[in-house]
């Protein structure tokens, strides 16, 4: 059994936002099991003035405030003085867009992962220039800060680490990163307010069930996310099932 441990750290002016999510559910379990560690550092603790200022007016004018460089440089120098053992990730709307592929890449990096969360309009450019190794956005919508994105990334990366999920859960991952949507799921009761579970799922015929699920996956993908099919290579069986679906829908 190979021992793997991943360390995440988050620098933020809202440490409670991070702590409250980590206190719940699967990530809490992963921390208790010793598979991951998440350290949270309050950026304000690294401010030098008596008012613990972390932001200031933008040079050149314009709306909003800019986060000062000094507290970020000080926290890096105090906590992670050695560049080689850390991967500093800035959460920013200007970053490369997060995806399952990026999650996989991060899960394979043995360095400690340090997330810098911004608030206000922006972070001083000199933080980006000298402190960071990577800049990531979680998608094209506007949030109020980098804390949720940091949690999204920690969540997605953690569940890829051995031991975080149960064995039965981990295997299915591949189908998503390979690009088909999930098939419909049902549990008891068989008849819920007149809505019945599809007969095939009650048949006990595993081959029929497998085919039905594959067909449902293809159908959902074609209807909701047709662009995923451009990069997905259909097997011979899938080609036949796919033809049937298109006929059905026409
Ligand atoms: C008008 C310019 N705005 C950029 C779209 C300014 C701005 C808005 C919101 C700057 C930062 C933010 C706060 N967002 C993040 O820090 C952030 C974010 C996001 O808003 N969406 C998706 N991913 C991310 S990662 C960090």
pTM here is: 0.95
CA distance 185 to 39: 37
Contact by Cβ (8 Å): 200, 183: no
CA distance 227 to 222: 8
Q: What are the φ and ψ backbone dihedral angles of 95, each rounded to 5 degrees?
A: -75, 175
Single out the residue of 12, 91, 83, 19 nearest to residue 45, CA to CA: 12
Characterize 195-233 residue by residue with b for buried, 16 or more Cβ atoms within 10 angstroms of its Cβ, and e for exposed.
eeeeeebeeeeeeebeebbbbbbbbebbeeeeeeeeeee
In the reported structure, the alpha carbon of residue 183 is separated from the centroid of ligand 1 by a whole-number distance in angstroms of 34
Tens-digit pLDDT profile for residues 109-162? 999 999 999 999 999 999 999 999 999 999 999 999 999 999 999 999 999 999
Please give the number of the atom of ligand 1 that sits closest to the Cα of 117.
Answer: 16
In the reported structure, the alpha carbon of residue 142 is separated from the centroid of ligand 1 by a whole-number distance in angstroms of 5
Tens-digit pLDDT profile for residues 209-234? 999 999 999 999 999 999 999 999 99
In the reported structure, the alpha carbon of residue 20 is separated from the centroid of ligand 1 by a whole-number distance in angstroms of 22
Please give the number of the atom of ligand 1 that sits closest to the Cα of 121.
Answer: 10
């Amino acid at each position: 059994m190979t021992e793997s441990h991943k360390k995440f750290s988050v620098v933020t002016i809202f440490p409670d936002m991070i702590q409250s999510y980590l206190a719940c559910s699967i990530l809490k379990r992963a921390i208790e099991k010793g598979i991951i560690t998440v350290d949270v550092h309050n950026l304000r603790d690294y401010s030098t003035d008596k008012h613990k200022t972390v932001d200031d007016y933008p040079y050149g004018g314009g709306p909003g405030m800019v986060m000062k460089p000094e507290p970020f440089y000080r926290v890096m120098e105090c906590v992670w003085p050695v560049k080689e053992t850390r991967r500093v990730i800035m959460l920013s709307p200007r970053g490369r867009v997060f995806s399952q592929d990026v999650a996989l890449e991060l899960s394979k990096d043995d360095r400690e992962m340090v997330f810098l969360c911004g608030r206000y309009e922006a972070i001083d450019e000199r933080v980006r220039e000298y402190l960071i190794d990577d800049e990531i956005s979680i998608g094209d919508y506007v949030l109020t800060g980098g804390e949720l994105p940091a949690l999204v990334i920690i969540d997605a990366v953690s569940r890829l680490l051995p031991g975080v999920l149960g064995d039965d859960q981990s295997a299915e991952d591949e189908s998503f990163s390979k690009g088909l949507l999930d098939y419909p799921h049902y549990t008891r009761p068989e008849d819920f307010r007149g809505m019945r579970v599809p007969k095939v799922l009650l048949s006990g015929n595993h081959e029929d069930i497998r085919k039905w699920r594959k067909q449902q996956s293809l159908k959902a993908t074609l209807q909701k996310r047709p662009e995923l099919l451009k990069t997905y290579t259909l097997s011979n069986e899938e080609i036949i099932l796919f033809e049937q679906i298109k006929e059905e829908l026409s």
